[in-house]
């Protein structure tokens, strides 16, 4: 069996967070082929993603794909060609405050981390797009979103890293004109990488 397919089977069978007592909804969400050269990494799927079994499927996906369209990718081609995943792969449920989804705990992130490591090892993306604070910190370190978005870094593995805010939680953050300017810069980096690397 193809190693990525075997990994996907192991992720789908995983119940680690449930066994550790976290109220996740089983049904991990990710997509993309082993040949993907771009990998988008979000925080965790939302309820619309789990229902559809498709990453970035709901309103957050519409905003993400609008940004990617500005960089020159159409959604259908991007979904078929590139890889979409998350720091934790199962829906964590609603936040206790009732506002939005629960942020996965450090322990859930630790339990799921080997799967993301394996995805990175098997897919070997040239460009990484972490979206939202949790994913950005995973790849860029302990920085504020406003410090990271708008930059284009090269990591130790030689991968280009272009952080974006999380499209589902970006509205408030995007109210600030300087943050909208940061997203415009990030989209510019993605467009240049897409053209230069023929992605
Ligand atoms: S979030 Fe990750 S570690 Fe937790 S149950 Fe789902 S696949 Fe397993």
Q: Which atom of ligand 1 is nearest to the CA of 112?
A: 3
Residue nearest to atom 8 of ligand 1 (CA): 14
DSSP state of 90: S
According to DSSP, the residues that pair with 161 across neighbouring strands are 128, 153
How do residues 122-168 score in pLDDT, each as one tens digit? 999 999 999 999 999 999 999 999 999 999 999 999 999 999 998 88
DSSP for 156-174, written as a single string: TTS-EE--B--TTTHHHHH
How do residues 152-162 score in pLDDT, each as one tens digit? 999 999 999 99
How do residues 55-99 score in pLDDT, each as one tens digit? 999 888 999 999 999 999 999 999 999 999 999 999 999 888 877
Instruction: Report how far ligand 1's centroid is from the alpha carbon of 17 (Å).
Output: 5
Instruction: Report how far ligand 1's centroid is from the alpha carbon of 4 (Å).
Output: 17
pTM of the model: 0.96
Report the C-alpha gap between 64 and 84 in whole angstroms: 11
């Amino acid at each position: 069996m193809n190693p990525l397919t075997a990994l996907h089977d192991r992720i789908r069978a995983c119940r680690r967070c449930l066994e550790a007592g976290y109220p996740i909804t089983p049904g991990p969400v990710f997509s993309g082929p082993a040949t993907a050269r771009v990998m988008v990494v979000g925080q965790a799927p939302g309820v619309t993603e789990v229902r559809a079994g498709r990453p970035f499927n709901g309103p957050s996906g519409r905003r993400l794909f609008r940004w990617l369209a500005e960089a020159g990718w159409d959604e259908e081609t991007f979904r078929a060609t590139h890889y979409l995943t998350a720091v934790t792969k199962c829906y964590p449920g609603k936040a206790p405050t009732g506002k939005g989804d629960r942020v996965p705990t450090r322990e859930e992130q630790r339990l799921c981390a080997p799967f993301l490591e394996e995805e990175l090892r098997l897919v070997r993306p040239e460009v990484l797009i972490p979206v939202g604070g949790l994913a950005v910190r995973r790849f860029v370190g302990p920085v504020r979103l406003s410090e990271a978005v708008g930059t284009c870094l090269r990591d130790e593995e030689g991968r280009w890293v272009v952080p974006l805010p999380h499209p589902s939680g970006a509205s408030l953050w995007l109210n600030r004109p300087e943050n909208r300017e940061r997203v415009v810069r990030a989209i510019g980096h993605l467009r240049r990488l897409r053209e230069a690397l023929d992605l």
